[in-house]
Structure 1
């Protein structure tokens, strides 16, 4: 391992002759790689920062370090990447492995020492460059389904020394793909009130016509003024049926490039602007993401390339032109879309908004505060992308704050004055967002100072005060009181809370803290007796579970082990 240390002293410019080193990183699994998610594909509120590699619908596959280096970060959390490892390599890049089931023995021992020291399942550690050295082809973990995973898979990333994720396929990670991307929908967008498509001053769906060669066209449209287009497109690899993200989208007007979106690399600070890149209203109302081939104000995405006039095209009266879109996957398979355009002038028709709800102006560059009754909602500068009009009214304790169809850059702040509530009830109150058809309350992280409750959110919609007076439930799964558990490896307990949700839990045996892993997807706490902290024959188990407003439940039982 001395060789590894020496490599870390070398200049990170070793591979400067190539933008991305080839044949340096090996594949992290020893099976044929099949993807359930591609780099930078569109997710809720972010671009996907790596490859999601299928693990044959099971957990426990061996995960190998992609190259020699040292473990620079270990994070264990209930959500997000779950159990995750970060390895820094001599060439300056970092590889990331997420949703792991467990770590290799030396890493597992290291992190469990930290968990028991901190008395917390959730930990984040940053070992120095000599503590946990790893070699190429070393087994570092086993694949799993921890954190915010929707099923067993390995999340794999490569980041540069500025912590920017880069498509791992640029480093030679190979995925079999001979299929062209496909297009499911096309839309045309007027830029302003003086722009029209097929006589309309609003977003227009265009009739998509597949060609025999796998390309596409739409019916000829009429237009006038400055307009843009959007596409709903996906890619499929050879060995997987699922829809994945594409690698590049370029558009041309009469053969001249006017726009390009290159999904090669991005920074985490900009990923939230995905909601500005897609048609957010369409996503929220129709669950389809139209990728807008034009750049609206206050969208700083670095993946835009070769953009002319913000990607809009100007259509004049009595003209004929052709707009073309090329959509590529990483292997270069390309689908073309052709949109013929005839210029036709249109007189502006004023439409009157018949909405009866009072509208309030939220300005991009100013602080705006909306007040009514016992509520206050504050939008600070740069919360919205544009100056917008929103619906706002308060009914009882429910705030009607527009609809969740407007993308926001950062949180707005909700304040409730609860001075009119009885003191005995105040501690059980929290701010909730009402969602779904039945308007179920969902806990929003709520802080209390005196008689003021405060919460932050990036989602417009309905908010209300809710009260949680019921304590969490605790139920043993694989044992009963006074049972012998000598042949058991695991101790399993189910916990749940019907309203505000689980905030924290603590488990002890004979007064000594024990590690219990929490899987929120199954509401299960699990202790591994191999931790060797339970050593007595007679053991008194005590578990305390607290919800987000402070209601607590205590479960106690006795079990025996030899």
Structure 2
């Protein structure tokens, strides 16, 4: 019985082994044994992971090396996302990306700080000329860190092509020790329409997995009829870590014929949003786990390969079919699951009644929903499917369906606040209500006259919220009048309990100083080695403003020799 899977393994291994990417061009960006906390194209919230997350021994400050010669083509520093990120373009057309850095090498650091002081901004994006910052392969370009949206110290490393499409760095010879087969945790069967059923039901069904001695799985036999599809929850692990990482390839076969493949070797940033269509989005939002659908429902992802009939099976009465799933990692460690399907038509099936509301979304049309002072505008192709949407407004709270339907793009929510006084409306913002306690999370709000507007890609509950509380400013490592001659850094904590911090500005003796902001620790840090503070007596002034304009001012005096 293992001959057919072995034949499949040989054929698929041959196709995966075809690799046109240079193998000896890029070196490792770190001088340690590489262990991953995140793999390429791993499923993340609303996007595919665009690189490798390489562990840095649970600390910051490891040397980061240029993977190949080239020039620094882009530098971006942001509070969130990649934090401090460096982009190096190479003569062969590829670009390597190094993110969540703690510091750049001295020449790059000096280049960046020069521009930060010129623009008086910590957040900055620079595009140096090809001759400005030339880099040799193996040169130290940065120190690893934990900046931006990083959940812990690591190096995020990417390789992109000329079209800015990220490609799995392992295709270029970046070696990760891995002899561990992927793990399948669950398999689901889906009726595709109202005339399809699985085990006499028209609803999604989780199927019982039966582990086999060789590491593969048998799946309970099912009876089905009509158009059906399957979904899978699966992860991969490498030898040296226990992290639950993403897989490299998934293929399915029906009666020996390949009918579907997900190939996670390259994608474009413009399509990464379609991850929410690849997964069972409602299941993810309600159960917090990601089922990858092994069939395509109007999804333009380029990850699909060799898709026959959208990966959907058409099961006829009095037939037997064998459905096989092969999950593989980059090192071609594979795990198989086999489902036997008996085609059996029945006269009536149990179907869940379809819910209707007064509001219908036709994805081919623009839709405006309005009640009272609130309006919602969905543009053409906001959603993948037509559906009845829940819509209601109670006081200033907007009930806009449940967040169980994926979107392709943003839509607009608008509030008419003309009924509020000028004083009150200046402190209003649109908030998304989160969790059981309906916590009001700031949604970026634009103001034009009496209209407040936000753009979002997420359904759910929204409301007008008020923020009259000023941000707080607390010195961490100094007091008023203190001598700081032996201090390297000046540290201040800033926080805001309402709409969140929008911006800050610090000066010493009237001159702007650079203060790096870490939103995770809510800390501002100035490095005295910038050399800007040369006086003995120094007047520090810090102004912090939140997203509705409340601001706080902190002033103090410190001394240095």
TM-score (norm 1): 0.96
Map 1:306-325 → 2, pairs under 5 A: 306-325=306-325
CA distance in structure 2 between the aligned counterparts of 1:419 and 1:74, rounded to whole angstroms: 43
Shift of 1:347: 3.5
Asked whether the equivalents of residues 229 and 293 of structure 1 are also in contact (C-alpha less than 8 Å), the reply is yes
CA distance in structure 1 between the aligned counterparts of 2:287 and 2:402, rounded to whole angstroms: 14
CA distance in structure 2 between the aligned counterparts of 1:144 and 1:358, rounded to whole angstroms: 50
- What do you get for the CA RMSD once the two structures are aligned? 1.2
Look up the match of 2:326: 326
Task: Kindly provide the CA deviation profile for residues 5-51 of structure 1, in whole angstroms up to 9, marking residues without a partner as x.
Answer: xxxxxxxxxxxx97200111000000000000000010000000000
Asked whether the equivalents of residues 434 and 464 of structure 1 are also in contact (C-alpha less than 8 Å), the reply is yes
Shift of 1:493: 0.3
Look up the match of 2:291: 290
1:270 match: secondary structure: helix
CA distance in structure 2 between the aligned counterparts of 1:236 and 1:407, rounded to whole angstroms: 29
Asked whether the equivalents of residues 194 and 348 of structure 1 are also in contact (C-alpha less than 8 Å), the reply is no
Shift of 1:346: 2.9
CA distance in structure 1 between the aligned counterparts of 2:451 and 2:490, rounded to whole angstroms: 42
Look up the match of 1:502: 501
Look up the match of 1:277: 278
Q: Which portions of structure 1, spanning 4 or more consecutive aligned residues, are displaced by more than 2 angstroms?
A: 346-355
Look up the match of 1:201: 202
**After alignment, is 242-251 or 338-347 more displaced?**
338-347
Confirm whether residue 185 of structure 1 aligns to residue 180 of structure 2: no
Confirm whether residue 517 of structure 1 aligns to residue 509 of structure 2: no
Shift of 1:352: 6.7
Confirm whether residue 404 of structure 1 aligns to residue 399 of structure 2: no
Look up the match of 1:5: none
Look up the match of 2:545: 546
Look up the match of 1:466: 465
Asked whether the equivalents of residues 474 and 553 of structure 1 are also in contact (C-alpha less than 8 Å), the reply is yes
CA distance in structure 2 between the aligned counterparts of 1:358 and 1:558, rounded to whole angstroms: 63
Map 1:429-444 → 2, pairs under 5 A: 429-444=428-443
Unaligned residue ranges in structure 2 (runs of 5+): 1-17
Task: Kindly provide the CA deviation profile for residues 315-373 of structure 1, in whole angstroms up to 9, marking residues without a partner as x.
Answer: 00111111000000000000000011001113355757597x94411111100011111
1:281 match: secondary structure: helix
CA distance in structure 1 between the aligned counterparts of 2:432 and 2:278, rounded to whole angstroms: 25
Task: Kindly provide the CA deviation profile for residues 261-298 of structure 1, in whole angstroms up to 9, marking residues without a partner as x.
Answer: 0001000000000000000001000011000000001x
CA distance in structure 2 between the aligned counterparts of 1:515 and 1:457, rounded to whole angstroms: 32
Confirm whether residue 483 of structure 1 aligns to residue 482 of structure 2: yes
Look up the match of 1:170: 171
- Residues paired across the two proteins, number: 544
CA distance in structure 1 between the aligned counterparts of 2:350 and 2:229, rounded to whole angstroms: 21
TM-score (norm 2): 0.96
Task: Kindly provide the CA deviation profile for residues 91-116 of structure 1, in whole angstroms up to 9, marking residues without a partner as x.
Answer: 11000000000000000000000000
Task: Kindly provide the CA deviation profile for residues 383-434 of structure 1, in whole angstroms up to 9, marking residues without a partner as x.
Answer: 0111111111111110111101100001110010111112210100000000
Task: Kindly provide the CA deviation profile for residues 425-481 of structure 1, in whole angstroms up to 9, marking residues without a partner as x.
Answer: 010000000001111000000011111110011111000000000110000000011
CA distance in structure 1 between the aligned counterparts of 2:238 and 2:272, rounded to whole angstroms: 24
Look up the match of 1:11: none
Map 1:238-249 → 2, pairs under 5 A: 238-249=239-250
CA distance in structure 1 between the aligned counterparts of 2:65 and 2:515, rounded to whole angstroms: 26
Asked whether the equivalents of residues 196 and 346 of structure 1 are also in contact (C-alpha less than 8 Å), the reply is no
Inter-CA distance 395–347: structure 2 relative to 1 (3 Å threshold): farther
Look up the match of 2:232: 231
CA distance in structure 1 between the aligned counterparts of 2:19 and 2:295, rounded to whole angstroms: 32
Look up the match of 2:69: 68
1:142 match: secondary structure: strand
Unaligned residue ranges in structure 1 (runs of 5+): 1-16
Look up the match of 2:28: 27
Task: Kindly provide the CA deviation profile for residues 107-128 of structure 1, in whole angstroms up to 9, marking residues without a partner as x.
Answer: 0000000000000000000001
CA distance in structure 2 between the aligned counterparts of 1:322 and 1:303, rounded to whole angstroms: 24
Asked whether the equivalents of residues 78 and 518 of structure 1 are also in contact (C-alpha less than 8 Å), the reply is yes
CA distance in structure 1 between the aligned counterparts of 2:137 and 2:87, rounded to whole angstroms: 14
Confirm whether residue 212 of structure 1 aligns to residue 213 of structure 2: yes
1:530 match: secondary structure: helix
2:189 match: secondary structure: strand
CA distance in structure 2 between the aligned counterparts of 1:76 and 1:325, rounded to whole angstroms: 43
